[in-house]
Amino acid sequence: MNVAHILSQKGRDVVTVSPDFSLHDVCQLMSEKGIGAVVVCARDGELVGILSERDIMRTIAASGARALEERVSSHMTSTVVTCREDTTIQSVMERMTEGRFRHVPVVREGRLAGIISIGDLIKNRLAEVESEQDELKRYIATA
């Protein structure tokens, strides 16, 4: 199973911000949308970073609430690990585990095409387990 399968169910919408947004703007956006990370894009749409609630928490822990006025560009992660639609779900899980992060943007021909979160992976795995159980029950019932 690959990333395209998850995107076909959850959709391809990605919440993006520009590097000059303030952390406070991002907090409001994350709270409104119920998400834990935003992808940072330049004006031409190029993916230039990712900023998650962890980055915001780390900044506030170090500098206090006044840090909320600082820009996204100063606190985002610029080296973003991405995947493609044909990347396997197993491989996305490995990337998250190795990198210790919970979000992986999906890129197609250099453009943003979706995002996979750890929640999406868990939801997908639960559905798989349920379907395996149903199959096993059917097999036992008809054996």
Residues lying near ligand AMP in the complex (CB under 6 A) are found at 36-37, 50-55, 77, 80-81, 99, 101-104
Q: Note whether 115 and 14 are within 8 A (CB).
A: yes
What is the nearest approach in angstroms of ligand AMP to the Cβ of residue 106? Answer: 10
Compare residues 58 and 137 and give the one whose CB is closer to ligand AMP: 58
Residue closer to ligand AMP (CB basis): 4 or 36: 36
Of 73 and 77, which has the nearer Cβ to ligand AMP?
77
Tell me the closest approach of the beta carbon of residue 117 to ligand AMP, in angstroms: 8
DSSP secondary structure code for residue 35 in this structure: -
Residue 20: DSSP 8-state: T
* 7-39: burial string, b at 16+ Cβ within 10 Å, e else: beeeeeebebbebebebebbeeebeeeebebbb
Shortest Cβ 53–ligand AMP spacing (Å): 6
